[in-house]
Amino acid sequence: MFKIMKYILKNTLLKIRNIKTITFAIIIAVTIWSYNHPLRELTYSIKYPVTWCVFPFMISNLSFLILFWFGIIYINSDIPYMQHSNMYQIIRTGRISWALGQLGGTFFRSFILVVFTAFCSIVSLLPQIEWSLQWGKLIHTIAMTNAAIQYNLKYVFYYQILGKYSPLQLMIITIVICTFISMFLSSLMFMISLYFNHILAVSITAALTIMLFFVVNIHPKIRYILAKFIPTVWAKVVQVNSPVLGYYWVPSIKYMFAFLLIGNIILIILILIKVKKCEFNWENEDI
């Protein structure tokens, strides 16, 4: 067990230090700075700080969310990890340990990237931050008025969620769910690449991201049904308690956790079964 954990740590470090992860981090940081600019200007103009917990609302923005998921697909484009460097790792560690190391590294990379995104959303608002476990007056005012339109804010603050969760609770829930979704997409790519091919894996995960646009823009009655089967939508945690034409279209948080937990376990089992007996086709590219 200690050897596997050590191998997972090694894989995590390798995965977060490659050029694709660094590129993703730079793009996300610049995008967040741009998205938070109107809110930052608002805090300066009224001379009142804003809550540190804006990440759950920001990632609920459709454009930002699509960019984020395509970024996750991009950094996972080395799946199923058939570079020559991995060939030598399999020889040293064995097939199952190698697969667990790759999956573990992928999970922790997903977690680190989600936390990094949340961190950037806080840093980009400094020093106009209200360090409190309460939402504060500004967010309540924005959520209850047309201030978001007036100041051209890039994302919406949903009033219903403010009364259900504290900033800390909502931040933790959003980070965990986004991490599990990222892991689900990564595991899905891994599984499809092993059983079929890499192109199909990228196509299906990209389709799940593109489906975001259709789900959000379709009639709420149909949206309610589709949203149950499109995990990329579930990053919109802040809309769980916000009905559209009477429909609470975003699935419950319990449903999300159950689906993602079971889904990830099934995908991991399928990956381990295939890795145990498949023939590997090694590539010349080392990423």
Chain centroid to CA 122: how far?
Answer: 17
pLDDT for res 147 = 82
Tens-place pLDDT, residues 233-279: 999 999 998 877 777 889 999 999 999 999 999 999 999 999 888 77
Task: Give Cα separations from 204 to 54, 126, 180, 237, 246 (angstroms).
Answer: 30, 39, 18, 23, 31
pLDDT for res 286 = 46
CA distance 74 to 260: 21
Q: What is the mean pLDDT of the chain?
A: 90
Contacts of 210 (CB under 8 A, 6+ apart): 66
Plot region of 77 (φ>0 → left; ψ -120 to 50 → alpha; else → beta): alpha
pLDDT band at 181 (very low <50, low <70, confident <90, very high): very high
- The number of beta carbons lying within 10 Å of the beta carbon of residue 211 is 17
pLDDT for res 287 = 43
Report which DSSP code applies to 247. Answer: B
Tokens of 132: 């409190």
Tens-place pLDDT, residues 191-248: 999 899 889 999 999 999 999 999 988 887 888 889 999 999 999 999 998 877 777 8
Residue 77 has pLDDT above 90, yes or no: no
Strand 50-51 versus strand 129-130 pairing type? parallel
Would you say 150 and 55 are in contact if contact means Cβ atoms under 8 Å apart? no
Q: Which residue has the higher pLDDT, 77 or 91?
A: 77
Instruction: Assign 61 to helix, strand or coil.
Output: coil
Tens-place pLDDT, residues 84-143: 566 667 777 788 888 899 999 999 999 999 999 999 999 999 999 999 999 989 999 999
Q: Which residue has the higher pLDDT, 113 or 81?
A: 113
Tens-place pLDDT, residues 15-36: 888 899 999 999 999 999 999 9
Would you say 144 and 163 are in contact if contact means Cβ atoms under 8 Å apart? no
- Where helices occur in the chain by DSSP H, the ranges are 2-16, 19-46, 55-58, 62-75, 84-93, 95-123, 137-144, 147-150, 159-162, 167-195, 198-217, 220-226, 253-277
pLDDT for res 247 = 75
pLDDT for res 40 = 94
Residue 170 has pLDDT above 80, yes or no: yes
Cα torsion angle, 102, 178, 22, 213, sign? positive
CA distance 173 to 164: 12
Would you say 270 and 88 are in contact if contact means Cβ atoms under 8 Å apart? no
Task: Give the residue-averaged pLDDT of 61-72.
Answer: 96
pLDDT for res 55 = 98
pLDDT for res 80 = 66
Q: Which residue has the higher pLDDT, 171 or 136?
A: 171
pLDDT band at 64 (very low <50, low <70, confident <90, very high): very high
51's enclosing H/E stretch is strand 50-51
